[in-house]
Chain A
């Protein structure tokens, strides 16, 4: 643990240093005519008064991006808290129909599944990163846990699971998906009555402000365990357990939906993007290709050289606009599919 702390501190320092270096390289252009020693003092004074350094600008942009993401998350949480359940109920509905041997129908759940899947194929797992109510809930729990650890226990680094376990734990969700699909397709889902194990049902009680958990005790216990996990690891449920996430990860997401990383241009041993990644993608070896990326775009914000790009970000010369456009498309689609509570 201590070694990791030191490593992260060094990394942070390196980030600051490179950012400061970049700013030092840019700043003197205004006062190139003057000698270095003369220009240094007024430049510093000036920066305190009106202009901000590129490093500060970058930090401010990161805060704005984070704020935008949180605002979108809250909007979707309030308006479409049932979207992820509806999408996965589509999967269950298909296989339950198969177990009965009856004709598949395009009911509203299957439509939600198709809609979310198409959106994910075109835009990547933007839904996971920005719109899923359970993901937002997990982000909130992790943030809360971090705050408590910082304020009460004065820990600088949040407790967490070791990063090297993540690729293995991330496979669990495929097992869960396979298990649910199998129980649905054999009809066992109904006969055993595992519906009261469903932590999402219990979660949906809470979003509907109903606190009568009669008959859902197993689900409540599982949800409590998940909350503990969420407090220990960012996006714990999303990356390790979520069966809907497993479906999304198995979808053929179009390669231009992802950020592209220009590895040749990277600072050696920087790893800033990898360190901030909530789902521990090993960008060096895996890239974005394994379907685990939840499209949170944190890496693009943290990269000291702006090495993470995507066609729409480049085209619009803006980081926020593509996010807003995606959110708007998703929102309209969700409203059309009947996922919005107030439409």
Chain B
């Protein structure tokens, strides 16, 4: 038959598509359950934290040292508050980022310039900024396939964090 190979290949591709579609539905259902559980856990944790904070306040009020506690905390911080810029080597050139730190937390992290990266690769590596904000760490996995752009962003982040280190 003239179109035998075309039809077999078409059927194979349709089959793969159907399998992936089913997989997607199952994975989405699972992800929804996981998200629900995480939300429940977060709620409980927030509640616990609230109680802990209240207890601490009560203790602090009881011992009467509420004024100096905060000052002591700020000298023990690892990073200075502020916005810092850093540079790293991406795939095809330097990547510049800016990091904002407040009270040892990264509150903002964005890429300022990425001229040397191919757009399709950079689009994936950019998701690292969110991962870094979530994990509060520069030690996160690179995006597979966009390894060099990812490494560039993380290198730039480390560069910026080095500038922010206290002392």
Contact = CB atoms under 8 A, between A and B. Distances in A.
Contacts of B92: 208, 341
A204 B23 CA distance: 33
Nearest to B93: A208
Contacts of B24: 103-104
Query: Residue among B3, B7, B92 with the most chain A CB within 10 A?
Result: B92
A101 to B, nearest CB: 6
B71 to A, nearest CB: 45
A109 B31 contact: no
Contacts of B61: none
A309 interface: no
A297 to B, nearest CB: 21
A108 B120 CA distance: 5
A189 B7 CA distance: 32
Contact of A86 (B5, B31, B118, B144): B118
A129 interface: no
A107 B121 CA distance: 10
Interface stretch (B8-16, B43-51, B104-112, B157-165): B8-16
Question: Chain B's interface: helix, strand, loop or mixed, by majority?
Answer: helix
Nearest to A198: B147
Nearest to A249: B9
Interface size bracket, A side: 35 or more
Contact of A255 (B6, B31, B121): B6
Contacts of B28: 103
Contacts of A103: 24, 27-28, 31
A311 interface: no
Query: Residue among B13, B119, B144 with the most chain A CB within 10 A?
Result: B119
A195 B20 CA distance: 25
Interface string A149-161: 0000000000000
Given A195-B144, A201-B147, A253-B6, A98 B23 contact: yes
A94 B144 CA distance: 11
Query: Residue among A96, A190, A208, A253 with the most chain B CB within 10 A?
Result: A208
B144 A108 contact: no
Given A208-B91, A343-B119, A252 B27 contact: no
A203 to B, nearest CB: 13
B123 A108 contact: yes
A98 B22 CA distance: 12
A252 B118 contact: no
A54 interface: no
B73 interface: no
A-B pairs with the 10 shortest C-beta distances? A338-B119, A89-B145, A338-B120, A252-B9, A252-B10, A108-B120, A108-B123, A103-B27, A82-B118, A208-B92
11 contacts: A86-B118, A86-B145, A107-B123, A108-B121, A109-B120, A109-B124, A204-B148, A250-B12, A289-B5, A338-B122, A341-B118
Given A85-B145, A290-B5, 9 more contacts: A102-B27, A103-B27, A104-B24, A104-B27, A109-B145, A190-B144, A208-B91, A251-B13, A254-B6
